[in-house]
Structure 1
Amino acid sequence: MDENPEFAAIEQARDLVIDSIAETMDLYGITRSVGILYGTMYMRDEMTLDEMREELQMSKPSMSTGVKKLQDLNVVKKTFHRGIRKHTFVAEKDFFKFFTNFFPPKWEREVQVNVTAIEEAQADLQKVLCKEDLDEDIKNEALQLYDQLESSKAYYDWLKRLAESVQTGEIFKFIPVETK
């Protein structure tokens, strides 16, 4: 039996978008398979793990792990339906909400990890700089590194404020969403 060409075109369009979502998520550290899972869920109203497994030909444990990862990122929610035993899941379809859920925690982690390292490094450099009879070249190198680290703090302060403005929605006052 020949497949309806219009249906095939719709499926091809859907697959193209799913693939681009997966590729984009891969850029941000989410595995391609989890990106495909999100993209597939994005294209559907809601899905059970069995439906995901059947559509994507992946194992149920892989589906479960992928869904858990997406839930941890706050871009997939478990839904409840009275009288239905199987859990269903729904993907966030509003990319602005996705953005506000996905990126700020990553930025906050970047700030926390790097500022902690900078502060520890600067404390170590202070110990070097406090030594008597310190070689002038070593002193200059330590000062140069200390100053470089100090100047990088402005970026991390900015990134922290960016994360806060995205989480609170304040960023949309400065860059409003334009609907088309």
Structure 2
Amino acid sequence: MNDLEGLAPEQIDRISKARERVIDSIGKNMDLYGVTLSIGHLYGYMYFKQGPVTLDELSQSMGMSKTSMSTGVRTLLDLKMIDKVWGKGTRKDLFEASSDWYQNFSDYFSIKWRKAVESNMNALTKSLNEIRSIKEEYSEDEALAALLSKDEDKIEDAIKYYRWLLKLIVALETGKIFELIPKEE
């Protein structure tokens, strides 16, 4: 059932325009964080939808292929911005947007930052070990040792930053961030 059903055409038009403005804003905002505009629009549409929807309903209402919808839904599921829900009497998968923007923010950045931290920490650790190996191999070369020590210090500083970032990620994941910066009531 359409949540605007039974309203006057002028009311439907005004409400739809207001919603579309928000949906477009959500899409543009998510685009800034590496999520495509269309997936941002998909979340925005689901955010305003009253109740869960199927891929077929999403595809039809947004005018996108079922394949595109499936990809978008999978991305939003991975980002924990939507949930797969159970629906009595239906065999099709149903999806519903999470309306907790604080949790969406926490999940999104935790997931993205954790991947980046793991990748960067692996590269830093590997490089640090290589620099230490070179330093040990050529220990008699003072100029090389001095150069390598500077590189070692820079890499160690970067590792400290990523350890700090991991603490921020944990604060987001556990909700402790909201003790420092409370949610608006």
Could you state the TM-score of these two structures normalised by the residue count of structure 2? 0.88
Distance 2:123 2:150 in 1: 17
Distance 2:139 2:167 in 1: 40
Helix, strand or coil for the counterpart of 1:47? coil
Distance 1:132 1:93 in 2: 59
Distance 1:143 1:82 in 2: 65
Equivalent position to 1:128, from 112, 116, 134: 134
Equivalent position to 2:165, from 159, 166, 171: 159
Residue of structure 2 in register with 1:63 after alignment: 69
Residue of structure 1 in register with 2:3 after alignment: none
Contact 2:139/2:145 (CA < 8 Å) preserved in 1? Answer: no
- The residue type paired with residue 25 of structure 1 is M
1:20 is the counterpart of 2:14? no
Residue of structure 2 in register with 1:33 after alignment: 38
Distance 1:86 1:132 in 2: 66
1:177 is the counterpart of 2:183? yes
Residue of structure 1 in register with 2:104 after alignment: 98
Could you state the TM-score of these two structures normalised by the residue count of structure 1? 0.90
| Cα RMSD after superposing both structures | 1.6
Contact 2:55/2:70 (CA < 8 Å) preserved in 1? Answer: yes
Contact 2:28/2:37 (CA < 8 Å) preserved in 1? Answer: yes
1:79 is the counterpart of 2:85? yes
User: 1:38-85 CA deviation, whole Å, 9 max, x = no partner?
Assistant: 111111122111211111110011111111111111111111122123
- How big is the shift at 1:132? 4.0
Equivalent position to 2:53, from 43, 47, 54: 47
Distance 2:164 2:140 in 1: 38
What is the number of residues matched between the two proteins?
Answer: 176
Distance 2:171 2:139 in 1: 46
Residue of structure 2 in register with 1:6 after alignment: 11
Distance 1:9 1:134 in 2: 75
Residue of structure 1 in register with 2:147 after alignment: 141
Going from structure 1 to structure 2, the CA distance change for 1:20 and 1:50 (only over 3 Å counts) comes to same
The ranges of structure 1 where at least 4 consecutive aligned residues each deviate by more than 4 angstroms after the TM superposition are none
- The residue type paired with residue 40 of structure 2 is G
